[in-house]
Structure 1
Amino acid sequence: MKITFTLIFCSLIILLNITANAQNDTTHVPADSASAKQQLDSLQHNKPLTEEDTAISYRINRVYLKSIWTDLKYTVARPAHWEKRDFIRLGIVVGGAGVLMTAADYEVKQFMLRNHTGGWNAITGQIEPFGNAYSPYLIGGMYLAGVIAKDRKLENAGLMSAKSLLISTLLYTTAKSIIRRGRPTYFDSPFEYNRPFTMNKEHTSFPSGHMNTVTTVATALAEIYGEKHPWVPWVTYSVAIATGATRMYQIRHWSSDVWVGASLGYFVTKSIFRHQREMEHKKALAARAAAM
């Protein structure tokens, strides 16, 4: 039910105002009409191109919907273009998961069970929705606030975050459907697995969807606002870590589930924003070539 709610909500964000007159199809790679005009003005007056000139800023339209599919293909195909450092990161993620599965999952569960208190129950109950309801509402709120305030950066931030969440959710639900790991709520052993694509709720532990969701949103906000506001990553990732701890405290996930869910959300979102920067770089090169 929670997974379904997330998917439905993200779909509604994507489809919202899709036929509205204000949402014209103006964001081809290169850019919307405003950016194109700025580029033309810069070229005519021999002014250097600025970051604003070459930025790709989305609205909800056909171009944005197409970009979701393009980013999904880019993300899935990234391993074919990995460099040495990318394989090192993969090794850290896989190795970390292996260590947690064999040496920490059971012990972390027992530690959490021994330390349940009424106070911690209340606190974790307030934090848990950051990995489920709060994150999609935050994204939708960002987008609507941007539309109402005519703040293109905020509007685009909401759409980029929604796209990241939609793609990472698709990937984690696919992984969860194939890797049917038993939840610690039902099993004492972290090595309980069922056949792929079985539908019972007891085997839906790996990876953590809450952690994927909150880390995706945290990474998107850090990518968008972190450079100019260094406190943003500290806040967003702190919320993500607290959410992961909550899922272990509530005995809903093993520690390795949380680790892999966080890794998936982080690297998928990083990939999407990397693709965005690559397209903006191509746009800048095209603009400079036109000026020559």
Structure 2
Amino acid sequence: MRIGFLALLLCQGTLAQAQLNPDTVQPANIMVNQSKPDTFRVPPPIRYSRQQLFVPVGLVVSGILTNANGDDAIKMEIKEMRNVNMRDFSTKIDNYLQYSPVVIAYGLDALGVKSRNPVIERSLILAKGAVLNYVTVNALKRVTRQLRPDETTYNSWPSGHTANAFAAATFLSEEYKHRFKWMPYAAYGLASTVGALRIANNRHYISDVLAGAGFGYLSMKVAYWTHQYRWSKKHRKSYPVF
């Protein structure tokens, strides 16, 4: 169980660094208002770059490689560690925590902390990313038909809760990382916690969680890459000061 949690923490740190690293994310080109040094203008839209695929592809590949069967497989060893140390552990908080980054994003906006995109644009991006994530994850569940570690159903790989959490974390990070440099760490910390809880609840293997993290992250990134910003051209053209 501790190995699984450490792996998730590694995912969190890697994703957070990817969000802040200018080599993996297009520069924000933030323009400072000379008359108001404490404010900044809206960053430009997020554009695709090949380097941004490294993290999600790495997570998905890790999920595939650790999905091997056999008593000596990594996922089975972690399951055994969970059964020995946390056999009676059970919580439903992961059912709600998976959506917490979205609640935080709109909550900050309601408090007057403006996000990267206006409400219509970011809502369309969120909807597109959520639909893509749902279709991808559920299609793979139907194709792979992996038995869950608690042996209840055949829809274990990849983890839907983890995919939802990482998609939501990517949304929160992209909307607020230019205001708060710590936001990617907080967002992906929440998402990693969801993944760890899915393992602790005996609902998923580490392989399911790693793959779910990759698919969730990539789904929301694709939503940003492909968005056309047709609902706020004036906003995009003028880059108004917050």
Q: TM-score, normalised by structure 1?
A: 0.53
Instruction: Give 1:97 shift.
Output: 2.1
2:167 is aligned with 1:216: yes
CA apart distance, 1:51: 5.8
Residue 219 of structure 1 deviates from its aligned partner by 0.3
Within a 5 Å distance, the mapping from 1:20-169 to structure 2 comes to: 85=51, 92-102=58-68, 103-116=73-86, 121=90, 124-131=91-98, 134-135=99-100, 138=103, 142=106, 153=117, 155-156=119-120, 157-169=122-134
Distance 1:93 1:241, change over 3 A: closer
Distance in 1 separating the partners of 2:64 and 2:204 = 15
Residues 1:236 and 2:215 are matched in the alignment: no
Question: Which aligned pairs between 1:236-275 and structure 2 lie closer than 5 A?
Answer: 236-275=187-226
Greater helix fraction, Structure 1 or Structure 2 = 1
Return the structure number with greater relative CO, CA threshold 8 A, min gap 6: 2
- Distance (Å, rounded) in 1 between the aligned partners of 2:54 and 2:177: 25
The Cα RMSD (Å) is 4.0
Cα distance 1:233–1:93, how it changes in 2: closer, same or farther (>3 A)? closer
Counterpart residue number, 1:198: none
Output the amino acid matched with 2:62: G
- What residue is the counterpart of 1:69 in the other structure? none
Question: How many Å separate the matches in 1 of 2:53 and 2:177?
Answer: 26
Give unpaired runs (5+ residues) of structure 1: 1-49, 57-77, 187-200, 288-292
User: 2:12: which partner in 1?
Assistant: none
Letter matched to residue 101 of structure 1: N
Please identify the structure whose Cα radius of gyration is greater. 1
Q: For residue 163 of structure 1, report the CA deviation from its aligned partner.
A: 2.8
1:142 and 1:158 in contact (8 A); partners too: no
User: Structure 2 stretches of 5 or more lacking a match?
Assistant: 1-39, 238-242
**TM-score (normalizing by structure 2):** 0.62
Deviations 1:215-244 (A, max 9, x none): 100001101111221121111111110100
Residue of structure 1 in register with 2:153 after alignment: 202
Partner SS state of residue 156, structure 2: coil
Q: Which amino acid aligns with 1:107?
A: E
**Matched pairs, number:** 189
- 2:31 matched to which residue of 1? none
Q: CA deviation at 1:117?
A: 6.9
